[in-house]
Amino acid sequence: MFINFWYPAIESTELTDTPVKVRMLGQDFVLWRDDAGTACCVSNTCTHRGGSLGDGKVVNGCIQCPYHGWRFDGDGQCTAIPSLGPNPTIPGRTRIDAYPVQEIYGLAFCFLGDLPEEERPPIMPIKECGQEGWAHTIQTYQFDINFQRSIENGIDPAHNEFVHDTHGYEGNWEDYRTPEVIPETTEWGTGFGEWIKAPPLPEGAMKDASGRDEDAMIWVGTGHEGAASLWTFIHPTEAMHIHQYMYECPIDEHHVRVWLINLRNFLPDAKHDETVMARNEYVVLQDRDVLEELHPVETPPTNDKESFMPADLCIGHYRERLKEWERRGWRIDSKTVTANERRVAYAIPSPERRKHKGWVLDSIPLCAADEAAAEESGAELDQAAGI
């Protein structure tokens, strides 16, 4: 799992002045709206004695801990310590990590990391949003799947033939072969497009709208943006476009929450939403059934533990990107976190950590940071040994 990306936490409509506890990247956060209606997200662990803030309540726009009533505002500042009496001096180190929140596309995205604003990877944009002629639906799921496995499945053109009878022929097509994958890279992602032969749409509104020849080839494009977002464009005909945006949030290494925003430029009436969503769900659950059984659950640490084929090229690119982000120190050292789970409360570092010293909670261990630290301590040992 990676820090320094925007992750979807909750649908905007669910965000009120009642706190909601959300688990992301293996840590707990609490979200609420303050008195001005601004969406707030802070680490769930109280810096007094580790109370679970999400089990408290919102008072005067601040989250109040259920244990001794300390309050924290949306910037993470402690605003009340009742045991000190009225008008106390509140020590700076009581602050908790607070995370930038952006509400867009019906979701509240949290920036879980410490990068300053100008260096942050963007939220995967939906360019059709607000454009006329596009109808949209939103669906959400939670699966027992590692997020990387899920993203890799999205950019894997070879599984469609076998997993989805809606897209392929279940292996009953003798001339089947995946088209060549020609990856196109962007600053934060890699994708590709290809023409494929797909079975006709089932009888009903979508088929009527398409007017597609039974044997016509369809164009599909797909790619990832950042660590956990995915786009898939399906053009059953030149004029009929389905654009899907999948925003994933790793709950932990073995569970993922997914929001699927589907845009279509046909059947604009909302009465067709159900048909579209049912078809999406049918496909998504087919992926789930395969992905939940993968062994090992997590992608192996090196590619030689799998056999790569040309159709896996985009997956290879994605893994290279993840390595690059790991080298920047963005990968969570989940092994250490899990080993210390009951003894250490960690926080994902927030942007404020770059401005202030003296935080109560330890910053979550990060892979590259640990390696660098190991090298440093190795160098210290070397120095001590006179090498």
Residue ranges in contact with Fe ion by CB under 5 A: 287
Q: What one-character DSSP code corresponds to residue 28?
A: E
**Is residue 23 near ligand FES by the rule CB under 6 A?**
no
The item of ligand FES, Fe ion, none sharing an interface with residue 207, based on CB under 5 to 8 Å by kind, is none
CA dist., res. 320 & res. 35, Å (int): 44
CA dist., res. 244 & res. 6, Å (int): 18
Tokens of 57: 């309540």
Minimum distance between the CB of residue 50 and ligand FES, rounded to whole angstroms? 6
Q: What one-character DSSP code corresponds to residue 73?
A: -
b/e sequence 4-17, b meaning 16+ C-beta within 10 Å:
bbbbbbbeeeebee
**Is residue 74 near ligand FES by the rule CB under 6 A?**
no
Q: Is 66 helix (H, G, I), strand (E, B) or coil?
A: coil
The item of ligand FES, Fe ion, none sharing an interface with residue 287, based on CB under 5 to 8 Å by kind, is Fe ion
Minimum distance between the CB of residue 46 and ligand FES, rounded to whole angstroms? 3
User: What count of Cα atoms within 13 Å lies in the side-chain half-sphere of residue 207?
Assistant: 9
**Is residue 67 near ligand FES by the rule CB under 6 A?**
yes
CA dist., res. 139 & res. 246, Å (int): 10
Q: Which stretch binds ligand FES (CB under 6 A): 49-57, 239-247, 277-285, 352-360?
A: 49-57
Minimum distance between the CB of residue 47 and ligand FES, rounded to whole angstroms? 8
CA dist., res. 206 & res. 213, Å (int): 13
Q: Which is nearer to Fe ion, 225 or 287 (CB)?
A: 287
CA dist., res. 219 & res. 235, Å (int): 5
**Is residue 63 near ligand FES by the rule CB under 6 A?**
no
**Is residue 361 near ligand FES by the rule CB under 6 A?**
no
The item of ligand FES, Fe ion, none sharing an interface with residue 51, based on CB under 5 to 8 Å by kind, is ligand FES
**Is residue 70 near ligand FES by the rule CB under 6 A?**
yes
**Is residue 191 near ligand FES by the rule CB under 6 A?**
no
Q: Which stretch binds ligand FES (CB under 6 A): 13-21, 48-56, 146-154, 322-330?
A: 48-56
Minimum distance between the CB of residue 384 and ligand FES, rounded to whole angstroms? 41
What lies within 8 Å, CB to CB, of 357 at 6+ separation is none
The item of Fe ion, ligand FES, none sharing an interface with residue 70, based on CB under 5 to 8 Å by kind, is ligand FES
Contact between 285 and 260 (Cβ < 8 Å)? no
Q: Which is nearer to ligand FES, 12 or 77 (CB)?
A: 77
What lies within 8 Å, CB to CB, of 137 at 6+ separation is 261, 262, 273, 276, 277, 280
Minimum distance between the CB of residue 195 and Fe ion, rounded to whole angstroms? 18
| First-residue to last-residue Cα distance in the chain | 37
Q: Which is nearer to ligand FES, 61 or 365 (CB)?
A: 61
Q: What one-character DSSP code corresponds to residue 103?
A: E
**Is residue 68 near ligand FES by the rule CB under 6 A?**
yes
Tokens of 60: 């005067």
Q: Which stretch binds ligand FES (CB under 6 A): 44-52, 167-175, 327-335, 347-355?
A: 44-52
Q: Is the peptide bond before 8 cis (omega within 30 degrees of 0)?
A: no
Q: Which is nearer to ligand FES, 48 or 328 (CB)?
A: 48
CA dist., res. 1 & res. 151, Å (int): 12
Q: Which residues bind ligand FES (CB under 6 A)?
A: 46, 48-51, 65, 67-70
